[in-house]
Amino acid sequence: MKEATRQAFGKALAEAAARDPRIIALDADLAPATKTDETKKAVPAQFLQTGIAEANMVGIAAGLAVSGLKPFASSFAMFLAGRAYEQVRNSIAYPGLDVKLCATHAGITVGEDGGSHQCVEDIGLMRMLPGMMVLQPADSVEAAAMVRYLAGVPGPAYLRLSRAAVESVFDDAYEFVPGELRQVRPGRSIAFVASGVMVRECVDAAQRLESAGIDGAVYNLSTIKPLNKARLDEIVNAYDLVYVAEEHLKAGGIWSAVMETVDAPQKVKSIAIEDRFGQSGSVAALMEEYGLSAAAIENRVLEDQRASLAMGIEQIAMAGIRRA
């Protein structure tokens, strides 16, 4: 099944609201796009349209949380993480309120809307906030499972969702476990630790690499904060090389967080967006342009393998010269 994580979020939130009258969906004039209109249809009294005023929406969500309700505030990542950042910091994260921030249209897979709407720095902004949980699903199945999880736990959280449809990674029996790095493809040569839409790209890349004799494992990192250090160290120690793949800027993103956490950061490489804003284009063209497509990942790994082999040959030659 191919479905956008924002679609699954909308359905799951409506179902959660129907079960729990304390859940309130808030939107900033983007309900058909963020899919919070599903809650409006199912339980109109638990939907609040704040208009084009994201900062106000976050403040209202804080007030609802103080009143004992469970607000889920949603907008595009560019507006929720960017425009309303001060309010998220001071009104949600600082007091540690039970508000779930559900950001759709994250990353370059927004497509033709272009760089102004492609938020590629939101993970960095959100993971820096003390006490803020940061989650990103690999597919629609995991997105729905995350909503069910968030509806039952207290505290602030940022849920990062995509506009583009992705092929399913998990089946309907999947259950979200916070902090888990589930292996979605076995392998022995190298490992990909991927998040969001990059999980499927890495699975496809690993399949392509088989013809070159490279057996790549893929792990789904869906809990970006807090990171599971013990599990990450276990994965890094099990492979000669680990690639962290993310649809986000390299600086401040998941690779940065992993490098700050693991005991052997020298074994970790980054597949991410390098110090660039997004631009308008089709999803496929953008993923290729920014080195995030399965084909681009395959080429990157093969180039690294060739460079490593060349370095090894040079080291052997130099050792021979020294002995002579």
Three-state DSSP class for 209?
Answer: helix
- Give the confidence band of 315 by pLDDT, cuts at 50, 70, 90: low
Residues 186 and 119 in one domain: no
What is the model's pTM?
0.94
Residue 244 and residue 190 share a domain: yes
The CATH number covering residue 266 comes to 3.40.50.920
Question: What are the two backbone dihedrals, phi and then psi, of residue 3, each rounded to the nearest 5 degrees?
Answer: -155, 145
Question: pLDDT per residue over 92-112, tens digit each?
Answer: 999 999 999 999 999 999 999
- Whole-number mean pLDDT of the chain? 95
Residue 52 forms part of a structural domain: yes
Q: Give me the residue label for tokens 């799951």.
A: 12
Residue 322, pLDDT > 90, answer: no
| Residues 186-215: b if buried by 16+ CB within 10 A, e if exposed | ebebbbbbbbbbbbbbbbbbbebbeeeebe
Decide if 27 contacts 34 (C-beta within 8 A): yes
Which ranges in the chain belong to alpha helices (H)?
5-19, 31-34, 37-42, 54-66, 77, 85-87, 122-127, 140-150, 198-209, 229-238, 254-261, 283-289, 294-323
Residue 105 φ then ψ, to 5°: 55, 45
- 273 is a domain residue: yes
Q: What percent of the chain has pLDDT over 70?
A: 95
Read off the pLDDT band of 307 (50, 70, 90). Answer: confident
234 domain-assigned: yes
- CATH number at 12 reads 3.40.50.970
For 119-175, what is each residue's pLDDT tens digit? 999 999 999 999 999 999 999 999 999 999 999 999 999 999 999 999 999 999 999
Question: With bands split at pLDDT 50, 70 and 90, how would you rate the model's confidence at 1?
Answer: confident
How many distinct structural domains can be found in the chain?
A: 2
Residue 17 domain boundaries = 2-167
- Residue 319 pLDDT class (50, 70, 90 cuts): low
What tokens appear for 6 in the block?
Answer: 């924002």
Question: Which of helix, strand or coil describes residue 213?
Answer: coil
pLDDT at 217 over 80: yes
